[in-house]
Structure 1
Amino acid sequence: MAFLAGPRLLDWASSPPHLQFNKFVLTGYRPASSGSGCLRSLFYMHNELGNIYTHGSVLYHLFMCHRGGSPVYTRLLALDMCGVCLINTLGALPIIHCTLACRPWLRPAALLGYTLLSGVAGWRALTAPSTSARLRAFGWQAGARLLVFGARGAGLGSGAPGSLRCYLRMDALALLGGLVNVARLPERWGPGRFDYWGNSHQIMHLLSVGSILQLHAGVVPDLLWAARHTCLPD
């Protein structure tokens, strides 16, 4: 990709207060821009470029410097949190469905319960005052998934052989990404050295992609197994 010459970038102290959420990223902040200016930032170097190109939260990272300021940023962050919650919710429903395929009396209750829990977790994430509080909000969903994984591992649930390992790797990668992001590593160890590449948020994005790939690797054989499997009578 050929990068264009961009506007003069800002340092942390000169950036808008609502963008000063990582004090270890010192340079490379885009100035307040119009919508077209935000789109133009796809083609010049700045400290959000890696985040834009490594994850699904493209709108949030692309338009977070919009000249509409904090109100626009807050709406973009809320939209991003809704996307995270939907991934956590819709990704887990087929896992629950397959795990409880031979327990038709329990499966609807578990699916409904996880959906309701996800609604609460999503609201807590939307209203969370910090990155660590948002991570704790999504921990409710992770805890529920661990119960489902435990039931499958103990032989109380069903599913395709090998899928459980994919699901455990899925949540391990997601948790690791969240912890790295909250800890602001590695930029905490070298402020300014990871402003453009290799900072915690980019690492979280890459780990999240790996997590979703593990979800796919587990769900596809699970659904194929459920379509062919015949449950034995109790």
Structure 2
Amino acid sequence: MDFKICPSMAFLNGPRLLDLASSPRHLQFNRYVLTGYRPVSSVNECVKSLFYLHNELGNIYTHGIPLLCFLFLLPLSIPWAQISATWLGIVHFLACLSPQLGSVLYHLFMNHEGGAPVYRTLLTLDMCGICMVNTLGALPIVYTTLLCYPSTRTVALLSYTLLSSYAIYCAVSATSRFRRLQSFAWQALFRFLLFYARWAGLGAGSPTALRHFLTTDLLALLGGLINITRVPERWRPGCFDYWCNSHQIMHVLVVGSILYLHWGVLDDLLWISSYRCPP
């Protein structure tokens, strides 16, 4: 295939990069990013793209660096000896890792020589990572909020898991960015019902955790809206090809969202260890 090329902004022997019109059709999903596309590459060449500048480098590193930090630092911050339900710490740890891992693999290998089928598989993996943080990330919240109602808690955990399975199906089969974001609406509504129960005194939980969880969802929603509206590159096409485009901003907001989730879950786990339900 003959590609029209544009000058590479490489800092380590990278290939010459492509403009939007010359890149593979399945990678032409943001019409406001005009340059910096990697050519079709093998696995080895995709890995080498970690070391030269292209328009996916920021997306890789804005989730790759947090992935490594979460992988090694989060287990050290979880008070394993003080929590009564170890599985809550485990699912929380997996929830914090899943969106970063899926995103890094997607952005690193999206230009693989396997073409559109490989790209669709990677996109599905990325969506599954987002679904996992929405699913596993909320289970400790469900557990803690309904701590003093064991039967209701079991039903709620099962219901949220089934609802999340449907959300995963909707997200991976969605045909647009808006529909992907819309796929998580029912999960968000379920969580807000739990937040309301806490606020109204009907549910349990650390007094400081609720504001962390609200911030978590607000940052995630803001990141999703910025991503689907393509701001700021929509205003100045070609000026945000490499840095500070909507997807990178969303990545940063997602990392912030996960941090607030972590702080909220930590507050709840420590609170559970010292709380006793009224008879």
Does the alignment reach a TM-score above 0.5?
yes
Match of 2:277 in 1: 231
1:201 aligns with 2:209: no
Match of 1:99 in 2: 145
Question: Matches of 1:105 and 1:33 in 2, distance apart?
Answer: 53
Question: Matches of 1:200 and 1:8 in 2, distance apart?
Answer: 24
CA shift, 1:8, in A, is: 0.8
1:131 to 152, 157, 177: 177
Question: Matches of 1:210 and 1:69 in 2, distance apart?
Answer: 33
Question: Matches of 2:49 and 2:176 in 1, distance apart?
Answer: 26
Question: Matches of 2:199 and 2:121 in 1, distance apart?
Answer: 40
1:39 to 41, 47, 51: 47
Question: Matches of 2:42 and 2:186 in 1, distance apart?
Answer: 38
Cα deviations by residue, 1:118-157 (Å, 9 ceiling, x for unpaired): 0000000000001111000012211111111111111110
Match of 1:19 in 2: 27
CA shift, 1:227, in A, is: 2.0
More moved, 150-159 vs 164-173: 150-159
Match of 1:190 in 2: 236
Question: Matches of 1:3 and 1:217 in 2, distance apart?
Answer: 38
TM-score (normalised: structure 2): 0.82
Question: Matches of 2:30 and 2:185 in 1, distance apart?
Answer: 22
CA shift, 1:209, in A, is: 0.1
Amino acid at match of 1:23: R
2:116 to 63, 67, 70: 70
C-alpha RMSD of matched pairs (Å): 0.9
Q: Secondary structure at the match of 2:36?
A: coil
Question: Matches of 1:3 and 1:39 in 2, distance apart?
Answer: 15
CA shift, 1:192, in A, is: 0.4
Match of 1:9 in 2: 17
Question: Matches of 2:184 and 2:113 in 1, distance apart?
Answer: 30
CA shift, 1:5, in A, is: 2.1
1:169 aligns with 2:215: yes
Amino acid at match of 2:40: A
TM-score (normalised: structure 1): 0.97
Q: Secondary structure at the match of 1:47?
A: coil
- 5 Å matches for 1:81-160? 81-160=127-206
- 5 Å matches for 1:215-230? 215-230=261-276
Amino acid at match of 1:140: W
2:257 to 196, 200, 211: 211
CA shift, 1:189, in A, is: 0.5
More moved, 166-175 vs 131-140: 131-140
Runs of 5+ unmatched residues, structure 2: 1-9, 64-99
Cα deviations by residue, 1:140-193 (Å, 9 ceiling, x for unpaired): 211111111111111110101110000000000000000000000000010000
The alignment of Structure 1 onto Structure 2 pairs a total of residues equal to 232
Q: Secondary structure at the match of 2:15?
A: coil
Amino acid at match of 2:110: M
Question: Matches of 1:130 and 1:5 in 2, distance apart?
Answer: 36
Question: Matches of 1:197 and 1:139 in 2, distance apart?
Answer: 29
Identity of aligned residues (%): 66
Question: Matches of 2:273 and 2:128 in 1, distance apart?
Answer: 31
Runs of 5+ unmatched residues, structure 1: none
